[in-house]
Amino acid sequence: MLTVRVKQSFTDITKKALNQFLNDSINARLKSAIGSSVSTSTIQPIFDNEQSTENNESAANQEKSKVETTIEEMEAFNVVKAILRQKFDVSRIAPRDTQSYFGILLDDNNRKPLCRLHFNAKQKYLGLFDDEKKETRHPISSIDDIFNFADQLLAATTVYE
């Protein structure tokens, strides 16, 4: 019987499925456009507990280090790569996750920070650097908000040209 409760249940399930489908298709498109440098095999052991014992040991080591790279951080990294590919070769842009932030570096050199993603708290921040490499945090509500800071991000990278 089609009751209000059943109708609401199907509406919620349909909305979730549509959102998941859209996110998957956007991610696939970004990865194909950018040429993903991060393999899914490095992300799988974190989320899949039914891997071999070697993967379980590596997941246990990652828990001990308290550094967890989330899918959201990797999606934001892909957005930043898409913005910065105007100035730099994509292979020069590297991620580095720490306990307090997710850093995006040029040439995998911590002396050449491009930006930082602070996604570990309830409020998410995008950290941009000025000419003296001082970080300024900008609150964002979603990953798409990073595109609003594209000009500032590109201007901050002129130091490394």
77, pLDDT greater than 80: yes
pLDDT at 62: 47
Q: How confident is the model over 85-99, as pLDDT tens digits?
A: 888 888 888 999 888
Which CATH architecture does the domain made up of 68-161 adopt?
Answer: 2-Layer Sandwich (3.30)
Q: What is the mean pLDDT of the chain?
A: 80
Q: How confident is the model over 100-114, as pLDDT tens digits?
A: 899 999 888 888 898
pLDDT at 64: 54
Q: Are 143 and 129 in contact (CB under 8 A)?
A: no
50, pLDDT greater than 60: no
pLDDT at 65: 61
**pTM check: above 0.85:** no
Residue 7 vs residue 50, higher pLDDT: 7
Q: Are 128 and 114 in contact (CB under 8 A)?
A: no
CA distance 90 to 81: 7
Residue count of the chain, please give it: 161
Please return the burial class of 76, using the count of CB atoms within 10 Å of its CB with bins 0-12, 13-18 and 19+. Answer: buried
Q: How confident is the model over 17-49, as pLDDT tens digits?
A: 999 999 988 888 888 878 745 444 444 444 444
**Residues of the chain above pLDDT 70, percent:** 81
